[in-house]
Amino acid sequence: MNYFSEQIVWQEVPGEVSLAFTISGCPLACPGCHSAASWPATAGQPLTPDYFSSRLQQYQGLLTCVLFMGGEWLMDELLLLLRLARAARLKTCLYTGLDEVPESLKPWLTYAKTGPWRRELGGLEAPGTNQVFTDLRTGACLNHQFHQ
Ligand code: SF4
């Protein structure tokens, strides 16, 4: 598994300070994708368990969540990282272009954004979006928290 970018984000997961990784190799090829440069699986740098753990250690006490933008196409590797995040007592979120979160990931995720990018419908801030942000602990849709 390679990651294309890594950053601390405040708005992508409401109420959480998240360490976000954009995972390389998304196979969905949504027209208008704003991270098309991350489509090649070899783009970016390896996201090894050791590297991931070192980042969690470095940010200890500052983060509340880890966000994976993609990666569900490398299920076993993603599960390992989710387990490490949970062991560090962090919440977890997946942004996926799939309409459903794969069942095997659900026990390890606190939140998920589902649905492919459709330019004409807009993102989570758009009232008519096809995308859904869900608190998987309760099943509640949190899209309203993205409206301005
Ligand atoms: S799911 Fe996301 S990363 Fe993948 S092609 Fe669609 S917009 Fe791009």
Which two structure tokens, joined as six digits, stand for 55? Answer: 């980042």
Q: Report yes or no: 72 and 78 within 8 Å, Cβ to Cβ.
A: yes
Q: What is the pLDDT of residue 20?
A: 98
Element spanning 65, H or E: strand 65-69
Tell me what pLDDT residue 147 has. Answer: 87
In order of start, what are the domains of the chain with their CATH numbers?
A: 2-146 (3.20.20.70)
Percent of the chain with pLDDT over 70: 100
Q: What is the pLDDT of residue 88?
A: 97
- The token pair at 92 is 């977890």
Q: Residue ranges of the chain with pLDDT lower than 70? A: none
For ligand 1, the distance from its centroid to the CA atom of residue 64, given in whole angstroms, is 25
Atom of ligand 1 nearest to the CA of 117: 7
Give distance in angstroms: CA of 101 to centre of ligand 1: 15
- Which residues lie closer than 8 Å to 41 by C-beta, 6 or more apart? 2, 24, 25
Residue 70: CB within 6 Å of ligand 1? yes
Residue at token pair 């390890």:
108
Q: Give yes or no for residue 94 CB within 6 A of ligand 1.
A: no
Which position has the token pair 């590797």?
77
Query: What's residue 94's pLDDT?
Result: 98
Please list, in sequence order, all residues whose beta carbon lies within 8 angstroms of the beta carbon of residue 54, skipping any fewer than 6 positions away.
none
Q: What per-residue confidence (pLDDT) applies to 1?
A: 98
Ligand 1 neighbour 25 (Cβ under 6 A): no
- Is the CB–ligand 1 distance for residue 97 below 6 Å? yes
How confident is the model at residue 118, as a pLDDT? 96
Distance 28 CA to ligand 1 centre (A): 6
